[in-house]
Amino acid sequence: MADLSLHSPRPPIAVRTATVADRAVVATTLARAFVADPALSFIFPDVASRNRRLRAFFDLIVRSEADPADWCIAADAGVPAAVTIWRKPGAWRTPPSAMLRLIVPMIATFGTALPRALRLQGLLEAHHPAAPHWYLEFAGCEPARHGRGFGGAAIRARLAETDAAGVPTALETANEANIAIYTALGFRVTGDFAVTPTLHFWTMWRDPA
């Protein structure tokens, strides 16, 4: 997860669900948000090409995700500032049929980074909780708008719905600084694992309030 903030600016932040028309802005926002993310820096280590590769990566994500209504956009004066991508209970794992369908665009997107990406995906799936839950797959904020509460607002909007439905939520983060932020949102660390000596993940779980 990219760097987030819980502080709320004034006036209150508007949050809405996304539509198909938002796919480009969601991909652009997440690409900017994750430029220094440890996990995606592991996949795309070349700094000079990382921005371009991240945009292609998130373009692939938003094209392959089934339902943009599972995404939340926090906006300031109508301008998207932070986005979240969630997966419904039972849909956190990418099925083999989808992987096969996406193999050509995956090769085009990742190139020689594909083995690293597949290794990381395999580790994430191996450590993922099995109990039914909503999965916070990605959450990110425009870097110039960090510290103003947009990321927290986008997350809280979906948590209000999962709480009302009595469904837990889960996530993984490779950014240790985010643990305190997610803890303040009601998550707790339930496990951790190392990918390399310098890349570490924490798995987090949140019971419905």
In whole angstroms, how large is the CA radius of gyration of the chain?
16
pLDDT digit string, tens, across residues 69-116: 889 999 987 889 999 999 999 888 877 667 777 788 889 889 999 999
**Residue ranges per structural domain of the chain:** 14-206
Q: What is the mean pLDDT of the chain?
A: 90
DSSP-derived letter for residue 4 is: -
Q: For 24-47, how does the pLDDT look when each residue is reduced to its tens digit (9 = 90+)? A: 999 999 999 999 999 999 999 999
Domain 14-206, what architecture?
A: 3-Layer(aba) Sandwich (3.40)
Q: Give the pLDDT band of residue 148 (cuts 50, 70, 90).
A: confident
Q: At 115, list the tokens.
A: 């083995």
Residue 6: its pLDDT value, please?
A: 54
